[in-house]
Amino acid sequence: MDADTALELVKKGAALLFLDVPQHTLLGIDTQMFSVGPNFKGIKMIPPGPHIIYYSSSNRGGSEFSPMIGFFIDLNPSEVIIRKWDQRGERLVKVSEEEEERYTLAVQGLEFDRYLGPYTLSQFGEWKMLSNYITKSTIERIEPIGAEITVIHEPDILENSHKTVMEEALSEQLKRSKILISDDKLEKRGCYYTKIPRLIKQKGILGQELTFLNLDKTNLLESILMKDYGGVEDLLLAELQFAFVAFLMGQSLEAFLQWKAFINLLFGCTEAPLHTRSHLFTKFIKVLYYQLKYAFHKEHTDTNGAAKGPLTLLDDSFLSADSFLQHLCKEFFSLVFEAEVVDGDLLSWTRKLKELLERSLGWVFQTENMGDGICYDEDDEFAPAVVMLDEPSDG
């Protein structure tokens, strides 16, 4: 990149000034993570829009790390966000208004330029695929009091419930953590996620009808869409993306459970994908495809400082052939591939998701009409009929 282009990007892009961050701290923005060196004071050339910042403090040798702390921000062009490491040595905190004004002018005057690492623009497209539905209003609606997303502020929501191997490991690691939790008067709590019941319970409904409602969660989906999102499908997808990012980058157990609840809800519908909400399900499968594609790639190729971080969330229990995700995908694939009529975009993205899981994890999906995972040719008389809806496929 030539000097003029770089200078233009510095001026138009947003900047983060992080003061006094200890060396060896793991600090990330979006899909990029760094191990802080002695001269690090922040990041420049950040594209406007939503981003997640996350960090984990370490001991002096950089061999042990505390649980991750993350927060979402929505940046304007040329905006400067300033944080400093607190005196307790735990976290990034806001500066005073006077300091903010003074440091902002210094950053805009390029006084800190050589201490600011550039945002890796080649990875911005990857981040956009993980966050294209998230907006400033999404962040403001869901983020917790104080904006910090961290497992140390989350109640032990699995204390009295069945845990998977991964959930058990995360819960135990939290209990063993030696991080000092501040005695702030401000009550700490998790994010304001939408409540998604695992089972539908309604008084006055006969057992057979109640069983049907739990087998097909289309009515529950419609209720949540109208009650919590005003019927706007993209708001549901925004929360799905928020939860995934908070889970994978912020290493939040609460976020993982919310993401899992969304997956259970959407894959639990049989009427909506084929008839009433085909466009929503096309967008959902596309969102899930890029989430898993990133997660699988990160799990197998991440060899930088982030690999030494406090948690490895995608362990064998998540990727095993008997995981909740494998079972839900199997049922959904059967539903779509064996349907007599299916939206063309939904069929295409479902095939892409199936191929990703088979290629990345070696999972084998067998359905009545697909044999050993073989896709039909377009002129196969036994293939499902494909219909194209008027709505666009990209959300």
Mean of the per-residue pLDDT values of the chain: 80
CATH number of 98's domain:
2.60.34.20
pLDDT at 224 over 80: yes
Q: Indicate the range of 30-39, 84-93, 174-183, 198-207 predicted with least confidence.
A: 174-183
Query: Crossing angle for the helix pair 278-301 and 233-248, nearest 10 degrees?
Result: 10
pLDDT at 173 over 70: no
pLDDT at residue 167 in the model:
61
pLDDT at residue 41 in the model:
96
366 vs 253, more confident:
253
pLDDT at residue 243 in the model:
96
Percent of the chain having pLDDT more than 70?
A: 71
Q: Go through the chain and tell me how many residues it has.
A: 395
159 within a domain of the structure (yes/no)? yes
141 within a domain of the structure (yes/no)? no
pLDDT at residue 77 in the model:
92
Query: Of the candidates 67, 97, 131, which is a domain's last residue?
Result: 131
393 within a domain of the structure (yes/no)? no
pLDDT at residue 317 in the model:
53
Closest by CA to 338, choosing from 362, 364, 371, is: 371
Q: Is 121 helix (H, G, I), strand (E, B) or coil?
A: helix
pLDDT at 391 over 60: no
Residues 308 and 372 reside in one and the same domain:
yes
Query: Of the candidates 97, 131, 165, which is a domain's last residue?
Result: 131
Q: What is the pLDDT of residues 312-355, one digit of tens each?
A: 455 555 666 667 888 899 999 999 999 999 999 999 999 999 99
145 within a domain of the structure (yes/no)? no
Model confidence, pTM: 0.83
The parent domain of residue 279 ranges over 151-387
Distance separating alpha carbons of residues 21 and 84, to the nearest angstrom:
7
Q: Is 81 helix (H, G, I), strand (E, B) or coil?
A: strand
Residues 108 and 237 reside in one and the same domain:
no
Q: Which amino acid is at 265?
A: L
Residues 294 and 179 reside in one and the same domain:
yes
Q: Do 282 and 393 meet the contact criterion of CB atoms below 8 Å apart?
A: yes
Distance separating alpha carbons of residues 335 and 365, to the nearest angstrom:
12
CATH number of 181's domain:
1.25.40.550
Residues 64 and 182 reside in one and the same domain:
no
Instruction: Find where tokens 């295409």 sit.
Output: 348
Residues 114 and 52 reside in one and the same domain:
yes
For 179, other C-beta atoms within 10 Å of its C-beta total: 18
pLDDT at residue 165 in the model:
63
pLDDT at 263 over 70: yes
- Quick one: tokens of 204? 């006055």
pLDDT at residue 228 in the model:
96
Alpha-carbon dihedral angle through residues 70, 73, 79, 83, given to the nearest 10 degrees: -30
Distance separating alpha carbons of residues 154 and 175, to the nearest angstrom:
12
H helix and E strand count, the chain: 14, 11
Instruction: Find where tokens 């919590």 sit.
Output: 228
Distance separating alpha carbons of residues 281 and 290, to the nearest angstrom:
14
Average pLDDT estimate for 218-225: 94
pLDDT at 192 over 80: yes
Q: What is the pLDDT of residues 107-165, one digit of tens each?
A: 999 999 999 999 998 899 999 999 999 999 999 999 999 899 988 777 666 555 556 66
276 within a domain of the structure (yes/no)? yes
144 within a domain of the structure (yes/no)? no
Residues 162 and 80 reside in one and the same domain:
no
Q: Indicate the range of 56-70, 122-136, 255-269 predicted with least confidence.
A: 56-70
pLDDT at 385 over 80: no
Residues 159 and 261 reside in one and the same domain:
yes
Highest mean pLDDT among 43-52, 84-93, 381-390: 43-52
pLDDT at residue 180 in the model:
40
Confidence of residue 193 (pLDDT cuts 50, 70, 90): very high
Closest by CA to 223, choosing from 191, 257, 269, is: 269
310 within a domain of the structure (yes/no)? yes
34 vs 385, more confident:
34
138 within a domain of the structure (yes/no)? no
26 vs 184, more confident:
26
Which residues, at least 6 apart from 50, have a Cβ–Cβ distance to it below 8 Å? Answer: 72, 73, 74, 75, 131, 134, 135, 136, 138, 139
Residues 255 and 374 reside in one and the same domain:
yes
- Quick one: tokens of 114? 């050589």
The H or E element spanning position 344 is: helix 344-361
Confidence of residue 184 (pLDDT cuts 50, 70, 90): very low
Residues 320 and 175 reside in one and the same domain:
yes
Residue 176, classified by CB atoms within 10 Å of its CB into exposed (0-12), middle (13-18) or buried (19+), is exposed
Confidence of residue 64 (pLDDT cuts 50, 70, 90): confident
Confidence of residue 213 (pLDDT cuts 50, 70, 90): low
Domains in the chain: how many in total?
A: 2
For 236, other C-beta atoms within 10 Å of its C-beta total: 23
Query: Of the candidates 103, 131, 159, which is a domain's last residue?
Result: 131
pLDDT at residue 392 in the model:
44
